[in-house]
Amino acid sequence: MVENLKTTRYRNGDTIPYFSDNTQWQNSETGAFCDYNNTPSNSSTYGRLYNWYAIFNPQLCPEGWHVPFQSDWETLIDYLGGEAIAGGKLKEAGMLHWLAPNTGSNNSSGFTGLPGGCRTYGKFKDLGYRGYWWTFNIYYGSTDGIFWSLYYNNALINQGSSYRNSCFSVRCVKYK
């Protein structure tokens, strides 16, 4: 997809719960989404933020699409020249949404990665500074989910892991 997911429903029509309360996030073991800072207008630009339980539901993406696997991200990153420079090729160029200096950004991939921030431990952070995207995979030897992130001050793309109640952006990938 060319933008972050914004859906509030699974493709079977079921509603994805919206959690605005920090306690709900901390105790949730079900799929949920939020808008950054609980402000719906942020989602029109940056997409919605989903917890790992939502991305693990095969109904999250539209028919014929899926949450990317680790291997999908690795293929894309390798194609773009590796982790040290792929981030710049994935980021939206300029500083309309990214804070200065938005190092290395040229969006030559057409991905137009935006710094939609995240929600971890119930708190919102990094809008304008970082973009985070889930993979469908679990971090090796743990129960944490894997994500990839882009930064305002370098051209890297970096892999990380986070507990399942963290909320990150999602890009769906079309099945071949």
Q: Omega before 101 cis (within 30°)? A: yes
- Compute the average pLDDT of residues 34-38: 96
Confidence band of 163 (pLDDT split at 50, 70, 90): confident
pLDDT for 89 equals 98
Is pLDDT above 90 for 141?
A: no
pTM greater than 0.85 (yes/no): yes
Report the C-alpha gap between 16 and 77 in whole angstroms. Answer: 30
Is pLDDT above 90 for 138?
A: no
Confidence band of 32 (pLDDT split at 50, 70, 90): very high
Confidence band of 168 (pLDDT split at 50, 70, 90): very high
Is pLDDT above 80 for 176?
A: no
Is pLDDT above 90 for 95?
A: yes
Weakest mean pLDDT among 19-23, 139-143, 170-174: 139-143
